[in-house]
Chain A
Amino acid sequence: MSNFGILSILPILGILFIIWRLLRLAKSTSNRINWAQRSNKWILCIYIVVLLLAVVVYEATQTNGEEALTSKEYTTFINKNNVFQQAFENNEESKLDSKFLIEEWTQELEGDSLEVILNGSDVLMNIEWTDSKEQLVEAKMYRTYSYMGGINMGKEIPLPTLEVKDNQIILTAIPQKERTYYRFTNELTFFSTVNNLDAREQRRVIGHTYIYLKVPKHINVIDKDGLQFY
Chain B
Amino acid sequence: MFLSNSTLGEVVWTQVKFKVNAYLGTLVSLIVVQILGLILSMNGTSSMSTNFNNTDFQIVWITADTVIIFVSIWALFLGNVITTKGYRNTNFSFVTNGISNNLSNIIVLIIMSVFAGVTTFLSHYILRLVVPLFNDVGYVKSGSIIDDPLSSIASMGLMVGLILMISAGGYLWGTLVYIHRAYMFLLIVLIITLPTTKTGQMILQFIFADNGSLFVLNVKFVCVAIIFFVLAMLSSYRLEVRR
Q: Footprint of B on A, CB under 8 Å?
A: 1, 5, 9, 12, 15-16, 18-20, 22-23, 25-27, 29-31, 36-37, 40-41, 43-44, 47-48, 50-52, 54-55, 57-59, 61-62, 64-68, 120-122, 146, 148-151, 153, 156-160, 173-193, 197, 200, 204, 206, 209
Contact = CB atoms under 8 A, between A and B. Distances in A.
Contacts of A176: 54-56
Interface string B122-156: 11111111011001011111111110100110010
Contact of B45 (A19, A120, A189): A189
Given A57-B129, A188-B63, A183 B122 contact: no
B86 A27 contact: yes
Contacts of A47: 31, 119
16 contacts: A1-B192, A30-B25, A44-B24, A51-B126, A59-B145, A67-B140, A173-B53, A174-B55, A175-B54, A180-B58, A181-B138, A181-B139, A182-B131, A182-B137, A186-B124, A187-B151
Nearest to A1: B196
Contacts of A23: 26, 29, 74, 77-78, 81
Contacts of B195: 5
Interface in B33-62: 33, 36, 44-46, 48, 50, 52-62
Interface string B151-163: 1100100110010
Given A23-B74, A66-B139, A68-B141, A182 B211 contact: no
Nearest to A5: B196
Q: DSSP class of B's interface residues: helix, strand, loop or mixed?
A: helix
Contacts of A22: 29, 32-33, 74
A26 B16 CA distance: 19
A182 B213 contact: no
Interface stretch (B64-72, B95-103, B174-182): B64-72
B24 A40 contact: yes
Given A1-B192, A40-B24, A48 B119 contact: yes
Given A9-B192, A68-B140, A184 B124 contact: yes
Contacts of B87: 27
A160 B54 CA distance: 9
Nearest to A146: B52
A189 B65 contact: yes
Interface residues of B, number: 82
A26 B74 CA distance: 12
B126 A182 contact: no
B140 A181 contact: yes
Given A9-B192, A15-B70, A55-B122, A188 B65 contact: yes
Contacts of B139: 64-66, 181-184
Contacts of B214: 191-193
A109 to B, nearest CB: 28
Given A181-B58, A188-B68, A20 B122 contact: no
Contact of B128 (A52, A58, A146, A159): A58
